[in-house]
Amino acid sequence: MSEWVVDARGGICHQCDSEYQRLAQHWSRSKHCSFRDLSDAQHEAIRGCLVGDGNLDNPNDGPPALRLSSMRRPHLTWVRDQLGWLVRED
């Protein structure tokens, strides 16, 4: 059995001052706000997922996503913390 990491951190967008539940989703829907660049640490975490347990998917024919499932919740929590705003609930 696998569990999905839930990102419910929310916050305020620094570009438009509006509230968001998930920053990546806010940016993908906004006409005015733009994504920030990925950090080196995020690139490395993504690379680690792709050579490990992760796979690329496009759930519900939506935009491509890196999907990661694990029996070990602490592992998913650690990856979530590494990826920060890139993580979404699924």
| Chain residues in the site for Zn ion (CB under 5 A) | 13, 15-16, 33
Q: How far is the CB of 14 from Zn ion (least distance, A)?
A: 8
User: Which of 79/85 has CB closer to Zn ion?
Assistant: 85
Q: Which is nearer to Zn ion, 29 or 64 (CB)?
A: 29
* In the complex, minimum distance from the CB of residue 84 to Zn ion, in angstroms, rounded to a whole number: 16
Encode burial over 51-86: b for 16+ CB neighbours within 10 A, e otherwise. eebbeeeeeeeeeebbebebeeeeebeebbebbbbb
**Shortest Cβ distance from residue 13 to Zn ion (Å)?**
3
